[in-house]
Amino acid sequence: MKKVLLIVVCAGVSYFSQAQVKFGFKAGANLSNVGGKDAVGTSSLIGFHGGVQAGIPLVSSLSLQPELLYSAQGSKAEVETSGDGDEIITTKASLHLGYLALPVLLQYRHASGLFVQTGPQLSYLLSAKAKANGQSEDLKDDFKKTDLSWALGVGYTIADGKIGFNVRYNFGLTKLGKAADGEAAAKVYGRVLQAGLFYTL
């Protein structure tokens, strides 16, 4: 068994050493929100993403593209609170979530430079804050540390594949919040539309 494992590892190292793995940088904007049965009255929040990517050739026009990104996302909402007497005060609030994201995408590239990609993304929560009226509250303990989503994207490359842009939609698969007081977590999931540029070394 050890010999078989050693052969597999050696074959993998040999393949990737000859596969001309390409590394690059990427950055862009996020338009994020939350969705699901319990997500009511929310609107989109503008954020950003940025990090590094790698292109690992597989067969023909297929490649594997893992990335490591920081992604700022969340949502906005109007919150109603009671004032003096029967007065209702409406406050604009926003939820800001910072994630370290690891998408691993299967990519098909056409000779024209057009490509499509899809795959899972696992994100680790770095921060969670609610902001309203110039004040901020830390909510990190109310959210799950990890978030699993599925990504669908399309893009185009120029300059011999070194420069390009892409648009991607991340569809959350796991509930964002934790269960509390013996009740199941609310059915609220992340939704993120990303658009950005990348440069391959």
Give 56-84 pLDDT, tens digit per residue: 999 989 999 999 999 999 999 987 666 56
Task: Tell me what pLDDT residue 10 has.
Answer: 52
Encode 107-141: b = buried (16+ Cβ within 10 Å), e = exposed.
bebeeeeebebebebebebeebebeeeeeeeeeee
86: confidence class by pLDDT, cuts 50, 70, 90: low
| For residue 173, pLDDT beyond 50 | yes
* Stretch (H or E) spanning 107: strand 88-109
Residues forming beta bridges with residue 138, ordered by sequence position: 129
Q: Which of 47, 51, 148, 48 is nearest to 95 (CA)?
A: 47
Give CA–CA dist 117/191, Å, rounded: 17
Count of Cβ atoms closer than 10 Å to residue 20 Cβ: 9
Mean pLDDT over the full length of the chain: 89
| For residue 24, pLDDT beyond 60 | yes
Task: Tell me what pLDDT residue 6 has.
Answer: 56
Task: Tell me what pLDDT residue 30 has.
Answer: 98
In CATH, the architecture of 21-200 is Beta Barrel (2.40)
| For residue 169, pLDDT beyond 60 | yes
Q: Is 57 left (phi over 0), alpha (psi -120 to 50) or beta?
A: beta
Q: Which of 6-20, 82-96, 103-117, 133-147 has the lowest mean pLDDT?
A: 6-20
